[in-house]
Structure 1
């Protein structure tokens, strides 16, 4: 965070604070500094933190890894190259509005030609460089993995199944294997390709549903 805000004093509060600890040790520190801003990593802050900030006119943001994160995994404590900030809620929470949702729904993208040119240039740069969120895999020839393309292909992208995006992103909870089976049922005759989450592939996160259980209906990527 220091790299992101070099002009600010960054003070980290521990996760798992009890409400009484916040009342005794942190409220006065925040209220006594008129420059104070509060940022919470996902939902690891106290549930009442957002309301406390709103009641006292203190800027508040949720923070999460951005879409181009790092070279290697966040679980290995690699600093992120991008962060997502949202004043309303985490961008993946389907239960209420978020800043990202509002931007995508209301911003006049067609009216901002310069922004669209920059976006297109960035897309082309990402594609030409072969960048992904974690960039933890070695370069590979696609046909050596997928085989020649002779039919429709469906890519199923796995998530860490304990991730907050699973808990808040849908009313119905689906495992990765559920999604593979759904893709198989909805696309008869297609080649189903399943990419487990990089943290699962690297062993830093547990696979709660076993990819081996769906190998009979899909190609499971190993890197």
Structure 2
């Protein structure tokens, strides 16, 4: 998406504002807190589900900004710099209550090739986790990814179940004989975001809890993935896994998932490659860590692979110290 020469921004932290200026390219970004400083006919960028400031002129164009789906090697809560953001003029991909700019049925051959490379490389949104994991010797293994319960994707995309414990209980009740593997959200496992309500009770409803295992490693070995709105469901679709949605993520309602919640607004049927074309090619904006310039998703994948290779094994002492500082300064519920 090409931005006007001058844009205004609201709802961005200082760190996100710094990143926004990189993503904006040649556009000048003015940070504002009130509608009075935003001229009529201009463009306002909002982070995520941030509401527009009261009194905003009706002819101000709104563009919402969020993390893209191939983001970084490292956690956003640890301030790992993102390679991709999405800019949406209509809504936001996790908001099941309204449309977004996400899906376009184009570039399917390119999408198929990109999907194949992502799966082969094991790259996921954060690409963290070091431990090996072996599938339990059970006939049916279901992965249940946890989420940060204060996130907007649950507030806007989970009309019934909204906690990790409620999800795991629902999955267990529907699948009493399956092996359930629960993976807490990496921000929560790192202590950078708060645990969900009664999340410690999850152990009583699942067979195994895994933390420092890469999502790609798990997705290659499980049979099914059951989610509220977690991006892990999308990553599972890339790998041909059965995905059951108990909420309304952006990839639900297109005929690719088993949906517990109805979503009549989505009437089209998409292939996985159409979903990839919209989600990874047409929708996000990618910016190079090296040059600060716009790059393609294929180039972003190249950079992520090089980043992961260069990162190697983390220095545990430094990682713990960094996380302790972040808990005191930027960690949030």
Query: Do both share a fold (TM > 0.5)?
Result: yes
Give the 3 Å change call, closer, same or farther, for CA 185–47 of structure 1 in structure 2: farther
When normalised by structure 2's length, the TM-score is 0.53
The structure with the largest alpha-carbon Rg is 1
Aligned-pair CA distance for 1:61: 0.9
Counterpart check, 1:123 vs 2:115:
yes
Candidates 205, 212, 229, aligned match of 1:217: 205
Deviates more, 1:159-168 or 1:117-126: 117-126
- Residues paired across the two proteins, number: 192
Counterpart check, 1:183 vs 2:183:
no
- Residues 74 and 127, structure 2, Cα contact 8 Å, conserved in 1: yes
2: distance between equivalents of 1:38 and 1:212? 41
Counterpart check, 1:170 vs 2:162:
no
- Residues 94 and 157, structure 2, Cα contact 8 Å, conserved in 1: yes
1: distance between equivalents of 2:29 and 2:51? 16
1: distance between equivalents of 2:54 and 2:94? 20
Trace 1:124-139 onto structure 2 (pairs within 5 A): 124-138=116-130
- Residues 196 and 221, structure 1, Cα contact 8 Å, conserved in 2: yes
When normalised by structure 1's length, the TM-score is 0.77
Trace 1:19-58 onto structure 2 (pairs within 5 A): 21-23=34-36, 26-27=37-38, 30-31=39-40, 36-46=42-52, 48=54, 52=56, 55-56=58-59, 58=60
- Residues 63 and 83, structure 1, Cα contact 8 Å, conserved in 2: yes
- Residues 211 and 220, structure 1, Cα contact 8 Å, conserved in 2: no
Aligned-pair CA distance for 1:194: 0.9
Counterpart check, 1:3 vs 2:9:
no
Higher relative contact order (CA 8 A, sep 6+): 2
